[in-house]
Amino acid sequence: MCAGPVREWVDLGRQPVSNAFLMPEEVDSETFFRLAVGICADCTMVQQLEPMPTDNMFRPDYPYRSSTSAGLCSHFEEVAHLLRDTELTGVDDLVVEIGSNDGIMLRRLSAAGVRHLGVDPSAGAAAAAAASGVRVRVDFFDERSAAEILATDGPAKVIFSANTVSHVADIDTVFRGVDRLLTADGIFVFEDRYVSDIVEYAYFDQIYDEHFYLFAVRSVDAMVARLGFELVDVERIPIHGGSVRYTVARPGSRERRPSVARMVDEEARYGIGEHETYLRFGRQIERIRTDLVALLTDLRDAGRRVVGYGATSKSATVTNYCGIGPDLVPFICDTTPEKQGRLSPGAHIPVRPYAAFSDPYPDYALLLAWNHAEEIMAKERQFVEQGGRWILYAPHVRIV
């Protein structure tokens, strides 16, 4: 990132491509890599040490669909309103979204008649976006595609991205693209998981192939300055267990809000640049692994039925780091048709349709989509009323 020395923080072992759900005949040709992250002593950026090549991850059949969560739908509706009311006020203003997926955010702006373009290499997700009226370019956003978009659509007043910028190891190409495409007074707004929350709550499953960088405000501030931009505002948002919305502009074009210095100070007090903070996390996740495997083993031996709830990307890290297979969790239910009927990466736990959850209800559900806990627990009251219990594992293993 900044050419500073990177020191290894945590090694989560041999891991698969987290969204490569397999047909049974594909298990022998699965791709694995060593999932280890380190922290830069100079700029505090947390990053992977051995990247998984991008083409293995974001293939045309990438199965994640953002709109499978009602909570995310309302979050991105709010984002669309915010951008339209505060920035996209001119009739011809263009907004470009990097990683638009199934159009969860842009469909609101499209419906409001705002000039827009989504950019996403996932052809399946892009087709879903197009079906809801969103214009998408099936492509990676980088300097090349940005230059082509500039030629056809003109400059963008707003570039937005959620949970994607951190996924691009060669992040300089994204910022060079932004530099080409953004108007002189435009803003680049991106949201991503917050490393402080990951460390604080031992959300170790937020570390997987796609999350190449784990951002802190201090590390993003240093990164954007190096790439010729200025971080002008930051805001904590509760998405995915704790995220930050970063607003970046051309240097001097916008006032720098006090929020940036405030969060950088908070991070220093928290010890975000210190190695000891991260070592604590390592000890905590070893404890989670021991406790979770012990609990699942005891439940199995006592004849209790346990199912996984939500075939998340995160669950690849949990199951493969802990060594949890179909012997402990016979299947995972998930509402995403693209994942159903397949095996989970690495651990090879069958993914079954949502209807399998209540047919009949299990005794325990391992909540792998814990970031949607409020929404899911509200939806699954009947499961609890008839005696079912949830198993959560971060920051510590517990039954609720």
Binds 62: which of ligand SAH, ligand DWN, none (CB < 5-8 Å by kind): ligand SAH
Q: How far is 261 from 268, CA to CA, in rounded Å?
A: 11
| 98-106, 146-154, 198-206, 382-390 -> range binding ligand SAH (CB under 6 A) | 98-106
- Closest approach of ligand SAH to the CB of residue 359, in Å: 29
Q: How far is 368 from 375, CA to CA, in rounded Å?
A: 13
| 56-64, 304-312, 353-361, 371-379 -> range binding ligand SAH (CB under 6 A) | 56-64
Q: Does 312 bind ligand DWN (CB under 6 A)?
A: yes
Q: How far is 164 from 8, CA to CA, in rounded Å?
A: 23
> Which position among 94, 119, 202, 397 is part of the footprint of ligand SAH (CB under 6 A)?
119
Q: Which residues in the 362-391 window bind ligand DWN by CB under 6 A?
A: 369, 371-372, 375-376, 379
How many other C-beta atoms can be found within 10 angstroms of the C-beta atom of residue 281?
19
C-alpha pair distances (Å), 332 with each of 48, 66, 189, 253, 392 = 28, 18, 34, 49, 15
Size of the site for ligand SAH (CB under 6 A): 20
| Closer to ligand SAH by Cβ: residue 4 or 71 | 71
Which residues on neighbouring strands pair with residue 36, listed in sequence order? 11
Q: Are 49 and 36 in contact (CB under 8 A)?
A: yes
Tokens of 288: 């989670």
Which residues on neighbouring strands pair with residue 38, listed in sequence order? 8, 47
> Which position among 47, 163, 219, 247 is part of the footprint of ligand DWN (CB under 6 A)?
163
Q: 146-163 burial, b if ≥16 CB within 10 A, otherwise e?
A: beebbeebebbbbbbbbb
Q: Find where tokens 């293995």 sit.
A: 56
Binds 140: which of ligand DWN, ligand SAH, none (CB < 5-8 Å by kind): ligand SAH
Binds 168: which of ligand SAH, ligand DWN, none (CB < 5-8 Å by kind): ligand SAH
- Closest approach of ligand DWN to the CB of residue 62, in Å: 9
> Which position among 22, 156, 260, 311 is part of the footprint of ligand DWN (CB under 6 A)?
311
> Which position among 15, 44, 163, 344 is part of the footprint of ligand SAH (CB under 6 A)?
163
Q: Are 13 and 37 in contact (CB under 8 A)?
A: no
| Closer to ligand DWN by Cβ: residue 183 or 336 | 336
Label the pairing between strands 398-399 and 389-392. Answer: antiparallel
x-marked contacts with ligand DWN along 315-334 as a string, rule CB under 6 A = -------------------x
How many other C-beta atoms can be found within 10 angstroms of the C-beta atom of residue 239?
22
Q: How far is 213 from 45, CA to CA, in rounded Å?
A: 7
> Which position among 102, 210, 233, 267 is part of the footprint of ligand DWN (CB under 6 A)?
210
- Closest approach of ligand SAH to the CB of residue 98, in Å: 5
Dihedrals phi, psi of 189, to nearest 5 degrees: -110, 125
Alpha helices (H) along the chain? 54-57, 70-86, 106-111, 123-131, 143-153, 171-181, 195-200, 217-226, 258-270, 275-301, 314-322, 373-379, 381-385
x-marked contacts with ligand DWN along 250-289 as a string, rule CB under 6 A = ----------------------------------------
| Closer to ligand SAH by Cβ: residue 177 or 346 | 177
Q: Does 67 bind ligand DWN (CB under 6 A)?
A: no
Which positions lie near ligand DWN, rule CB under 6 A? 64, 68-69, 163, 210, 310-314, 334-336, 339, 354, 369, 371-372, 375-376, 379
In the complex, the residues that contact ligand SAH under the rule CB under 6 A are 58, 62, 64, 66, 98-99, 101, 104, 119-122, 125, 140-141, 162-164, 167-168
